[in-house]
Amino acid sequence: MRLSPSITGYGILAFRDPNGIRSVCYGKRETPGGIDYMIASESVALGPLGFELVRDIAPGEAIYIEHDGTLHTRQCAAKPELNPCLFEFVYFARPDSIIDGISVYKARLRMGDHLRQKIQRLRPEHDIDVVMPIPDTSRTSAMQLAYHLGVKYREGFIKNRYIARTFIMPGQSQRKNRSSRN
């Protein structure tokens, strides 16, 4: 889905699955030699390299960029439907990303708002003392929740950024061995 295989001597191909589960976008930049294109899983990857976001690749769409920079797009799926992975917004994406036209930061704020509404609906006389983000990507939601509930916000668990994410390793034995070493 997000891999862009090079077709040696011809160009590069990128495509998005028919359900649009994972994010992928493309951008462009003007150069003295013409227009350059870049394909990325997140919009934030484009800016530091001088590219501006053109748009997200649609579910089921393929983009082919010829070696000379000519861009081709084509819908390849019969019934594409956008069903993005929630974890892109909750965990994977950087907060300053835009995915399918949605700000990840604003989505996380709204998650905090929705949780507050649910708590106030189900437990209007809640006894919540403190809100802590776990994992740290939930910080935006947790701060929004704490603010609107009028309770303390605290950092309780800090992620060790110097170890690998063990849940992403391909096999259970690898995940188990890696986590036991840390």
Mean pLDDT score, 4-24? 86
Parts of the chain belonging to CATH 3.40.50.2020: 103-181
Mean pLDDT score, 89-114? 95
Among 72-76, 112-116, 149-153, 159-163, where is mean pLDDT lowest? 159-163
Average pLDDT, the chain: 89
Mean pLDDT score, 140-163? 89
* pTM of the predicted protein model: 0.78
- 159: number of CA atoms within 13 Å, CB side? 14
Peptide bond just before 80 cis, omega within 30 deg:
no
Q: Is the pLDDT of residue 114 over 70?
A: yes
Residues 6+ apart with CB under 8 A from 38: 26, 27, 28, 29, 45, 46, 49, 51
Structure tokens at 90: 């909750």
Mean pLDDT score, 168-179? 66
Its CATH class, for the domain covering 103-181, is alpha beta
SS3 state at 91: helix
pLDDT of residue 165: 59
| pLDDT tens column, 19-68 | 999 999 999 999 998 999 999 999 999 999 999 999 999 999 999 999 88
pLDDT of residue 2: 44
Q: Is the pLDDT of residue 1 over 60?
A: no
